[in-house]
Structure 1
């Protein structure tokens, strides 16, 4: 949909809403009355009068005080070129990285290791492979790799993840596999944190790979370029 069509749709959506002013408490009451099955996590005002941000099921939607009509999409400050929805998602999905059980991760220090990323990755995920290629051009970072095999998509991933964790040089084994396709050498089985990582990921709502968290707790989903990763790491400092 082009910009003109998008603004037309949003305009029509807004025209269908009441122009009466209310507050977040009223919106919450109307949501509960109109949609009692919806589990609302938060309600906030927006820069637009009488339009409210509703965060539910890990997603941001917008409504008015009647809480009857909703629209999805990004709220953009076009003048300042800021995606307001994206910024709010960053805040709403951030975590406290100090609570992460780092003993369940493979640690790799590159350069001075000052910057930090906490990465949930699946050895057989093509997007994880793409991210790893970009990480070859990212220096001065400490990476905590949480092996996160999604066996519903990649049936062999847990076996590979186990072999990686049990290897003498886990991170090197990981890189050899995801970058070069080198199968991990057969090793004796060992205790792994993989089951705990899957529980942790579920708790943190990590529903896809790769997902990584920055030092400030912000969540980044999907593969990113080396230049963007560097910018994100710097910003988190």
Structure 2
């Protein structure tokens, strides 16, 4: 069967530090392309899923092992052999490993100290929809057995990083977060004048985790459903959905 590959061709001989992929694939990092997964490929080729500025790219290592092509594979009948495998390979699979990564991120807990249910929220101090979600969760947290873990990121505005730092570096991060939310729009929590390297690293790691999970905006909620399966819900949930997440 004949196959045709369209779009861009690159030839790479440079070697980088990553050890898991052939040199031409590793070299794509220098072009700003991150390799996310493998991709089924025709005989002789090796396929990979790349990510560039939030977009998934099909990448094929040619049989000579020295060249890669970025684009779709078509057979002699014009059938696209890349589209379906790329969609399948690009599906986000949330697992217990994902849950463990969330637990190890930097967050501010709110709600029950001995929770039966944990909800993670990627949030930015300057995000109005995050504020709306925070308001909606307050009555659901009252007297319940749920804990919300607010994972602070800085993706909305220039002051996001410094205000997140002001929250995380305060003597009582939860009280400071509540103070900010209760005065949202004219926050009485001023952005930190400087951000320590440690705090900047924590927030950067939160952002990296957000990107790893293919989350492109805040808020985004991650929780376990009644069967224990890890679920993600981007944006502001409906009232009914939010009540279900909180077991109400």
Contact 2:105 2:205 survives alignment (8 Å): no
Deviations 1:178-227 (A, max 9, x none): 23234226879654211221222222222210112113321110112443
TM-score, normalised with respect to structure 2: 0.55
Match of residue 219 from structure 2: 210
Query: Map of 1:19-98 to 2, 5 A cutoff?
Result: 33=4, 35=6, 57=55, 66-67=79-80, 92-95=92-95, 96-98=98-100
Contact 2:112 2:146 in 1 (8 A): yes
Q: Is the 8 A contact 2:105 2:151 kept in 1?
A: no
Gaps of 5+ in 1: 1-25, 44-55, 60-64, 71-87
Matched-pair contact (CA < 8 Å) for 1:121–1:147: yes
**Cα distance in 2 for residues equivalent to 1:111 and 1:226:** 24
Partner of 1:224: 237
Runs of 4+ in 1 over 4 A off after TM superposition: 34-37, 39-43, 56-59, 185-190
Distance change in 2, residues 1:35/1:217 (3 Å): farther
Note the C-alpha offset of 1:115. Answer: 1.3
3-state secondary structure, aligned to 1:218: strand
Q: Partners in 1 of 2:80 and 2:106 — Cα distance? A: 43
1:120–1:210 CA contact under 8 A, matched in 2: yes
Relative distance call for 1:185 and 1:208 in structure 2 (3 A) is closer
Q: TM-score, normalised by structure 1?
A: 0.57
**Alignment match, 2:138:** 136
Give 1 or 2: higher helix fraction: 1
Match of 1:162 in 2: 165
Q: Which residue of 2 aligns with 1:194?
A: 203
RMSD value, Cα: 4.1
Residue 139 of structure 2 aligns to a residue whose secondary structure is coil
5+ residue gaps in structure 2?
9-34, 41-50, 58-77
1:173: how far off? 1.4
Deviation, structure 1 residue 36:
6.6
Alignment pair present for 1:178 and 2:181: yes
